[in-house]
Structure 1
């Protein structure tokens, strides 16, 4: 699966990579080099991050579904027990 960023997010990511290299390494990295590095990250590392996010979302959803029985459970056949003490 190919991970693609929206145009605005891609531009922001490239700018962030350029800033990182300048501030952390004192080196200028060009726009094309930063874009190529972003492409590498998205193609090679992105799927691992994506898969982890999906697994975490799945785990949270399964926990929520398991709680449905507790949250939405309604006792059946309680009319007679609720009626006790009433004339």
Structure 2
């Protein structure tokens, strides 16, 4: 079961409440080339989110080659929808 659609709704609700209107979700992001979600304010990315399945060890993911490619991103959040 996927939680991406629900998580996208949550992100949009949170950020729209502070007048940030754009949360992009890229289904191609699953290939590991860029984070799953990007929150954009006035054409400037302000938050990147990489979402993994519930129960996936975030400690292991944090040390993966995929995450090493993301270290250049500022304001990156890694989540399994629980933590």
Q: Give the TM-score, by structure 2 length.
A: 0.33
Bigger CA radius of gyration: 1
State TM-score, norm by structure 1: 0.32
Between structures 1 and 2, the one with greater strand share: 2
